[in-house]
Amino acid sequence: MSGGLRFQDLSRLTPARVRLDASASPTPMGDLLRFQEDHAGARDAIFSAANWEAIATDLAPLTSLRVASRATDRAEYLRRPDLGRRLAEGADLPRLDCPLVVIVGDGLSAQAVDRHAAPLIHALRARLPELSTVPVVLAQGARVALGDEIGAALGASMVLMLIGERPGLTVADSLGAYLTLSPRVGLRDSARNCVSNIHDHGGLSYDQAADRLLWLIETAQKIGVTGVGLKDESTQTPRLG
């Protein structure tokens, strides 16, 4: 079996880019163009702005609140990750004292939140009807930890941050979901659980992601911890009664 054929076989097992056949010369034009297209897609995902108005519309009948981080523009957001972890000065959020709030942050892929945030929230709301009474927070210039300050301000017992993941050359619109109990400024990332690779290019479907998040939410509420103390056994363990 030739090396080229082995690589072709490997490529059938994964949507990831598999090494090109080194014996092929020159580089096949199709492969070169696909690489350039994927690279441009990744750059677009990072530098584009989320369409917050469209997301708010897609979330209906859920209501939403808009906030921003201390990063004043996209360039500063990329240079200063610390600014994306704190709310802008003067941010005014209502005290809700709710068990769970969902936050949508643009993160490193606006395309991910544009395409996947609202459908995932609706899938989760079908499993947790109580989410219908709590507004979704839309956070511009957000890093994952921004959810801690937002959750603390709202008086939420738990926050679920849906955020655009760093784009790659295979998938530029992957969404991640981070669950944190008792959110407050200064928490370490080890206090969170993450469900990643939510997209429609071979990743988790909305129903699969919502089922996994539901298991994590219910288990966290039962045992009182998220992060390293909560091992994700959602695919092995039936729902808690």
How high is the mean pLDDT in each 10-residue block of the chain (241 residues)? 64 73 73 86 90 97 97 95 96 94 97 97 96 96 97 97 92 96 96 96 94 97 95 70 43
Q: Which domains can be identified in the chain, with CATH numbers?
A: 65-223 (3.40.50.11240)
Q: How far is CA 224 from CA 35, 157, 188, in A?
A: 46, 10, 17
pLDDT confidence of residue 2: 52
Closest of 128, 15, 12 to residue 62, by C-alpha: 128
pLDDT confidence of residue 241: 43
Look up the pTM and report it.
0.88
Residues that constitute the known binding site for adenosylcob(III)alamin = 144, 165, 194
pLDDT confidence of residue 16: 74
Which residues are CB-neighbours of 131 under 8 A, at least 6 positions away?
62, 100, 102, 121, 124, 125
pLDDT confidence of residue 237: 55
